[in-house]
Chain A
Amino acid sequence: DAGVTQTPRHEVAEKGQTIILKCEPVSGHNDLFWYRQTKIQGLELLSYFRSKSLMEDGGAFKDRFKAEMLNSSFSTLKIQPTEPKDSAVYLCASSLDWGAETLYFGSGTRLTVL
């Protein structure tokens, strides 16, 4: 089985651009999470989907960050407009049933905003 797949691995954007990050969860998994990781803040939850329904849309990130899950095998995270402070690694994770089952991470997308 394929693990969690994230694309692209690296993204460079100019301030003010719109970028879209992609994630394919493990096939059959019901839970999908988007995280942002920085050295200072650590792992911060951006969004959480259960069976394609948005369960949590991380408060501080609502204004410029939008995650969607149009089908059970694909999710996107849109950042619009980008700011230099958005430079970070964005991680996607999935689980069959988090809390009762293991969480699996993708390799992440490293975003640099100039």
Chain B
Amino acid sequence: GDKVKQSPSALSLQEGTNSALRCNFSIAATTVQWFLQNPRGSLINLFYLVPGTKENGRLKSTFNSKESYSTLHIRDAQLEDSGTYFCAAPTSGGNYKPTFGKGTSLVVHP
């Protein structure tokens, strides 16, 4: 099965509302990184987390390594928040390569 599962797979928000995206791990993740892939295709770094919480403007992310999940909270959603959100964690097994979830596709509408 998927080592990194993201939910929901798709989300539609009205401008100004709040929501949360989730990333569940079936691996022993020690760190997690969140990205936004914008409509042009660029993957933009949002957060790099060790266990704990980080906040940047209207975005806040929490990583709970003991319960193997991370959340990304979006407050006061804006049109420019639209895109696909990915989480990634190091996969052990010798090489520690980044393993990605399948993404959450977010559309913010007026």
Contact = CB atoms under 8 A, between A and B. Distances in A.
B30 interface: yes
A43 B97 contact: no
A98 B90 contact: yes
Contacts, number: 47
B86 A43 contact: yes
User: From DSSP, what is the main secondary structure of chain B's interface residues?
Assistant: strand
A102 B33 contact: yes
Contact of A102 (B40, B42, B45): B45
Interface of B: 30-31, 33, 35, 40-43, 45, 48, 86, 88, 90, 95-98, 100, 102-103
Interface of A: 33, 42-43, 45, 48, 50, 55-56, 89, 91, 93, 98-105, 107-108, 110
5 contacts: A33-B98, A56-B95, A100-B31, A102-B48, A110-B41
